[in-house]
Amino acid sequence: MQEYRRCNDLPDLLFCFRMFGIQEYTHNVSLKLSKVLDWIGVNEITVMKRRKSVLLRDSLTTLSLKLCGHDLDTFSFGSQIEGTTTPGLNSDGDSVYFMNKINVIQDWDEWKHGKQNLLMIQDGNVSPGYCLLQELRNDVPSPCVIKHRNHSYRDRMGRILLKNTLFNGPFGAMVKNGPAHSTQNVPGLTDCDSVLAFPCMSGQLQAGLRLYQQREGNWPTNDMIQYCSNMRCFVVGVGKTGSVNELLEWRISTSFAERFLMFSLNITQVRCYVLMKMILKTFITQRFPNSISSFMCKTVLLHCISYTRSDALKENTLFTCLSFCLSTLYNFVQNEYCPQFHNTQNNLMSGRFSPETKPLILETLHYVIESNGRALLEIKCDYFDSYLQKSLTGLVPRYAHNMPTSIVGQLLTHSACCISTNFNVLLHEINGLSPRLTIQKLLTFLSHHHNENFTNIDRKAYSLITRHLCNTFGSILASLNISQQDHLVYKKALSFMSLGLDSDVASGKLKLASVFYCTGDIQRTELVLKNIEECYDLSIVTSVCRCYNFAKVSDREKFNSLCYESNDEYPLFKHLTASCVYFLRCEINCCPFELQHEMFRSTQEYIANRGKDYKWMDMAVIDSLPYLYFLQYKTYSCLGRQDDKQRALEKLNRTIIVEQNLGHRETALNLLGQCMEQEYRKDDALKCFLMSLIIRRRHNAAKFHIFRLLASFYIQNFKIHV
């Protein structure tokens, strides 16, 4: 047996505080640990901002699904929404999509006419924490007697049961991972496990059973018990491994109650859980994969809190809390029994350890527990070891406060990307339709009413999406006005576009400037562009593009600091982010001629093979900053201001070279090349088009521009020779 490495060469935490008694020692270690965790972003600000950010993304996704006609609700669970992760832990996101057309019931009085009703069955043949789903008729409250689907099974009692293999088919580009479909290793995105589930609207299922057995810590409180016991649950398509009904069982999830309990924890308890996960990653996961999970650590923490007095869990008791949790985990592993917090009959460690690995895991846990904190100096995750050593000697790392601000900055960027993603989804729904049908569809989107279940975050999500929709709707009306010369339509178009000017720093205003430019109103175009440039602080504003997945460079320091210091994230989308500018084909009259080629970049052969995620290629899409400088170039050309025109051209060229987060650099190069043509610099224009083609070899209008430019060379040389 390979002996586990012990860091005897590292300073012992006990030695650092040998002058104190045991209480002073643990208190001082706790304070040092709390300080280090604060430095790496585990504090009240980042935890709350993580939660609000993920809740907003859930609301945005649910809203776009509803607007597209899908009766699904999206909810996130796990470390990302709990705020119990760090960049080094790199925790997955867990998303559950509720199929609302399904009605899972426990009692017959919950049956609903017209819905697909499923009766939850829990008897002696079903594993604890699982159930069977019996299919019922949707016209009368009675069991189905005829099988209607391949995923149904008639048992010996004649019941028609639904198999849990219902969701085993393809799920986009995701990888099957148990009951979940995983998105993995996508640039710019957190790995995510997505699960389709059936909601059970009634409470009183499993959530309250464990909670009523209160311990001496008086946690959860009576109010929390009452709230959790009435929370709905859901069922997931996976059976207990080794069960005789493995293909028929559905796991009952009480994640809503679990998430509520995690939201109620104080920062010391959150930090204790994060430390447990760091220890797990450092000492257990790499040597013994698929043994102890982070969910088990969470369960251990909840058990320990229920045994502990609330006044004992403070910042200066973090180390004691951690030691208690690790000792509890050791006992659970030793007995191979870890009862789920909400249902003690469900043993999370059943069959988890082999006879060969169990002694090694126990030895490792024993080493960590008995090291008096020295083992914590072996944690490399998020520079924890380096920060802890500096903290012990009274030093403050040079960039101690960079990580929390960077985390919050990335959260706002991810939320802005989510807005862009879901707006893109809605554009895909209407792109390619006739102008009349597009207007009708947009009016349907904009007339989506709030319901009584809308939270404040739901209302914010709706507001953020509708700003972009109003801008697009106004631009379509303006395009119709240009073709029909209808002044009333134009006035209405401007009123709608004004509602979307604050969608972000630039994209909404750039659409308005495009309308003015295409209608020949050059003076107003200049005024709008001047306002955009004044608001667009290059040291702060972050470019946002979610048309496709690409790795983005870390955000600007000023951007991160402003995000961290702000109490309200929603105005930041207006002041700190710049989305792409989209033009549908029905907006072609409001799109400058040079950009119109991007709407037809794909040949029919390429369209057939590109996949549904690239429908944006049927639109003209450009990043805000290069489009700003392009419009300035065209505007100053019309005004005859040569110096300003050349400055705009230089800024466009520099932006393409310097700006690292451009999602449509090839399109910006195509615009730059056409500007070079207008400057009679055809050699430079050809270089721009060739550089664009290197970036994106397919679905690129640069091919058309190259052929056109070469044809002009040929014609020019032909005339010279003639």
- 3-state SS of 636-704? HHHHCCHHHHHHHHHHHHHHHHHCCCCCCHHHHHHHHHHHHHHCCCHHHHHHHHHHHHHHCCCCCCHHH
- Res 300: pLDDT: 95
Q: How far, in Å, CA of 551 to CA of 660, rounded?
A: 10
* Residue 117 is assigned to a structural domain of this protein: yes
- Res 486: pLDDT: 67
Quick one: average pLDDT of 34-45?
95
* Residue 85 is assigned to a structural domain of this protein: no
| Position 254 confidence tier, pLDDT thresholds 50, 70, 90 | confident
| Position 612 confidence tier, pLDDT thresholds 50, 70, 90 | low
Quick one: average pLDDT of 531-540?
96
| Residue 115: strand, helix, or coil | coil
Q: Report the sign of the C-alpha dihedral through residues 474, 476, 482, 484, in that order.
A: negative
Higher-scoring residue by pLDDT: 11, 379: 379
Angle at 301 between CA 297 and CA 303, to 5 degrees: 115
395 and 531 assigned to the same domain:
no
| Position 17 confidence tier, pLDDT thresholds 50, 70, 90 | very low
604 and 717 assigned to the same domain:
yes
350 and 208 assigned to the same domain:
no
Higher-scoring residue by pLDDT: 73, 19: 73
Counting Cβ atoms within 10 Å, is residue 190 exposed (0-12), middle (13-18) or buried (19+)?
A: middle
Lowest-confidence segment of 187-201, 518-532, 693-707 by average pLDDT: 187-201
318 and 199 assigned to the same domain:
no
- Res 394: pLDDT: 84
Do 378 and 4 contact (CB within 8 A), yes or no? no
Higher-scoring residue by pLDDT: 97, 182: 97
Q: How far, in Å, CA of 526 to CA of 474, rounded?
A: 20
Strand partners, 636: none
Q: Which one of 208, 234, 262 terminates a domain? A: 262
| Position 712 confidence tier, pLDDT thresholds 50, 70, 90 | confident
Is the pLDDT score of 183 beyond 60? no
Render pLDDT for 671-709 as a digit per residue (tens, 0 to 9). Answer: 999 999 999 999 999 999 999 999 999 889 999 999 999
Quick one: average pLDDT of 171-183?
45
Parent domain of 411: 404-721
Instruction: Indicate the residue type of 65.
Output: L
192 and 275 assigned to the same domain:
no
Lowest-confidence segment of 191-205, 305-319, 343-357 by average pLDDT: 191-205
Is the pLDDT score of 5 beyond 80? no
Q: How far, in Å, CA of 23 to CA of 20, rounded?
A: 8
Quick one: average pLDDT of 569-592?
94
- Res 41: pLDDT: 94
- Res 12: pLDDT: 42
Quick one: average pLDDT of 609-632?
87
Q: Which one of 245, 262, 279 terminates a domain? A: 262
Task: Please report which residue ranges of 240-383 form alpha helices under DSSP H.
Answer: 255-263, 267-279, 294-307, 318-335, 357-370
140 and 188 assigned to the same domain:
yes
| Position 454 confidence tier, pLDDT thresholds 50, 70, 90 | confident
* Residue 46 is assigned to a structural domain of this protein: no
* Residue 50 is assigned to a structural domain of this protein: no
- Res 186: pLDDT: 46
Q: How far, in Å, CA of 102 to CA of 482, rounded?
A: 48
| Position 173 confidence tier, pLDDT thresholds 50, 70, 90 | very low
Render pLDDT for 263-318 as a digit per residue (tens, 0 to 9). Answer: 999 999 999 999 999 999 999 999 999 899 999 999 999 999 988 876 667 888 89
- Res 2: pLDDT: 37
Q: How far, in Å, CA of 4 to CA of 359, rounded?
A: 12
503 and 419 assigned to the same domain:
yes
386 and 424 assigned to the same domain:
no
Domain count, the chain: 3
Q: How far, in Å, CA of 396 to CA of 391, rounded?
A: 7
Is the pLDDT score of 453 beyond 80? no
Cis peptide upstream of residue 220 (ω within 30 degrees of 0): yes
Lowest-confidence segment of 130-139, 349-358, 448-457 by average pLDDT: 448-457
Render pLDDT for 115-154 as a digit per residue (tens, 0 to 9). Answer: 899 999 988 889 888 999 999 998 999 999 888 777 899 9
Give the helix/strand (H/E) hosting 488. Answer: helix 487-499
- Res 270: pLDDT: 96
Q: How far, in Å, CA of 231 to CA of 82, rounded?
A: 18
Lowest-confidence segment of 31-45, 154-168, 326-340 by average pLDDT: 154-168
545 and 452 assigned to the same domain:
yes
* Residue 382 is assigned to a structural domain of this protein: yes
Cα radius of gyration rounded to whole Å, the chain: 30
| Position 619 confidence tier, pLDDT thresholds 50, 70, 90 | very high
The residue ranges of DSSP E strands in 508-650, in sequence order, are 542-543, 577-578, 581-583, 620-622
Is the pLDDT score of 522 beyond 60? yes
Is the pLDDT score of 258 beyond 60? yes
301 and 431 assigned to the same domain:
no
Quick one: average pLDDT of 86-110?
90
* CA nearest to 620, candidates 669, 672, 664, 674: 664
Do 517 and 581 contact (CB within 8 A), yes or no? no
Quick one: average pLDDT of 69-87?
94
Is the pLDDT score of 324 beyond 80? yes
Is the pLDDT score of 178 beyond 70? no
* Residue 560 is assigned to a structural domain of this protein: yes
202 and 103 assigned to the same domain:
yes
Quick one: average pLDDT of 243-256?
90
Q: Which two tokens stand for residue 666?
A: 């090839």
* Residue 82 is assigned to a structural domain of this protein: no
| CATH number, position 318 | 1.10.1410.40
- Res 452: pLDDT: 64
Indicate the average pLDDT of the chain.
87
Q: Which one of 400, 416, 435 terminates a domain? A: 400
412 and 423 assigned to the same domain:
yes
| Position 616 confidence tier, pLDDT thresholds 50, 70, 90 | confident
* Residue 590 is assigned to a structural domain of this protein: yes
